[in-house]
Chain A
Amino acid sequence: MAAPASLAQALRVQGRVIGALLMWEVVHRYGRDNLGFVWLFLEPMIFTLAVTALWSATGLSHSVNLPIVAFALTGYSSVLLWRNCASRCSMAIPATASLLYHRPVRVLDILLTKILLEIAGASISFLALAALWIAIGWSEPPDDIVVVLGGWLMLAWFGAALGLILGALTSFSEIAERLWHPTAYILFPLSGAVFMVEWLSKDFQEFVLWLPMVHGVELLREGYFGSVVRTHYDLPHMAAICMGMTVAGLGLVRAAGRRVSFR
């Protein structure tokens, strides 16, 4: 196999490799028995259901003047979307390095595969639960599906960029993986999942709006609840951060690929 003659050819190879890795990952992770790949979205669904039950049972429903089921669905699904992308990429390179013995496989393909699967799992979970709540009347249909989709895609972009960065950093040093756990824990309550920015004090609003995912969740909820909620977001701000993270992530992944070592 000589160097790919053109970009189109390189992309074709990459598409083929990612297709192979998707199958590899699903069979490897879930096996062929029992429910198999259904766990891909069943697991986030169970998480979201548990959190919805918890938030409904505890005081949160009294302080939130929004339908708690839809509030939990939009909030927790958002967290799962970006957090799972990142967590799956953490330590992914050392764990799957032997795949690199196959020359067409590159570390970027391995990380993109994990990211695509997590996005798919979180998306199916979100869609299925939304459909269920709407069908049984626990939630109104979204006010504007296009806006919901926009928010979701922005969050997916953020998750993907974070995944690339974390995937590369954890291959440089395990310290990155150790620091990721407390970071993810702290980011959850700050991520916009459990509040609307409108409810916060001015100072706190300014602080949380530095976090890119907050903008995505606000947009998602504007689409879901419509004018019932007052939202605060700045898409160019979020896009700029995501773009910066993507460029940094791709650079780091490239560097990580060059220093993969089997001893």
Chain B
Amino acid sequence: MIAIEDVSKVYHTRQGPHRVLDQVNLRIERGEKVGILGRNGAGKSTLIRLIGGAEYPSSGRVRREMSVSWPLAFGGAFHPNLTGFDNLRFICRVYGVDYAAVVPYIEEFTELGVFLREPVVHYSDGMRARLAFGLSLAIEFDCFLIDEIIAVGDSRFHEKCKAELFEKRKDRAFILVSHNPETIKAHCRRASVLIGGRLRSFASVAEAFAHYEAPQA
């Protein structure tokens, strides 16, 4: 279970304090798939960072009783000066996972071959996306945070990612954040809508969708 309880986040800007999230509540049980809809700048990524623990709330708290991933395929989670294997080694050490045991999986999934021994700076965007996705899947989290589904790589790779994520790991929880209702419809059973820093939860994706599409006052 992950519980977000009365979480507010205030950033200090040149125009003074800016409240990005206002008294947000959300609860995700084991294996649940929850969508969060919001337009650009609604605070979706901030919410993801708070759930993942990269940032702390200004008030309220986030309780985690299951392991939470970093945002899936997030590029900032690995370093360009390091090789693909070095990044994998780092992540395995941080999360206490046996490096040698996941190397074959990474080789097979990323199809990067000898490039895994090259610094990530020399990768193309597509190669980088493959590595980022592979690293995320190397650690078996209870809950995966997905901040927009990756749009890089070819369609075959997309299918591969979807299979890994939504079929092989269908017992896990997901928090899928997107401005695109179609993505959420495809993968989530319920959804919440983030507008003006406030989060409203709905029992079904359809209701959330209706609220999201309704003209805002």
Known: A2-B65, A17-B94, A20-B93. A28 touches B49 (CB 8 A): no
Residues of A within 8 A of B53 (CB): 103
B11 x A24 contact (CB < 8 A): no
Q: With the chains together, A23 CA to B160 CA distance in Å?
A: 31
Which residue from chain B places its CB closest to the CB of A31 in the assembled complex?
B81
B94 x A104 contact (CB < 8 A): yes
Which residue from chain B places its CB closest to the CB of A98 in the assembled complex?
B76
Which residue from chain A places its CB closest to the CB of B70 in the assembled complex?
A101
Known: A2-B65, A98-B76, A103-B52. A27 touches B81 (CB 8 A): yes
Is A202 on the interface with B (CB-CB < 8 A)?
no
Residues of B within 8 A of A105 (CB): 94
A27 x B82 contact (CB < 8 A): yes
Q: What bracket does the count of chain A residues touching chain B fall in?
A: 20 to 34
Q: With the chains together, A28 CA to B53 CA distance in Å?
A: 24
Is A261 on the interface with B (CB-CB < 8 A)?
yes
Residues of B within 8 A of A31 (CB): 81
**Stretch in B24-32, B84-92, B176-184 touching the partner:** B84-92
Residues of B within 8 A of A258 (CB): 56
Question: What 1/0 flags go to B41-64 for Cβ under 8 Å of A?
Answer: 000001001001111100000001
Q: With the chains together, A104 CA to B77 CA distance in Å?
A: 13
Q: With the chains together, A37 CA to B81 CA distance in Å?
A: 15
Is A200 on the interface with B (CB-CB < 8 A)?
no
Beyond known contacts A98-B76, A101-B77, A103-B53: 15 more, CB 8 A cutoff: A13-B96, A20-B90, A23-B86, A24-B79, A24-B82, A24-B90, A32-B83, A98-B77, A101-B52, A101-B71, A102-B94, A105-B94, A257-B56, A260-B56, A261-B11
Closest CB pairs A-B (n = 3) = A20-B93, A98-B76, A101-B70
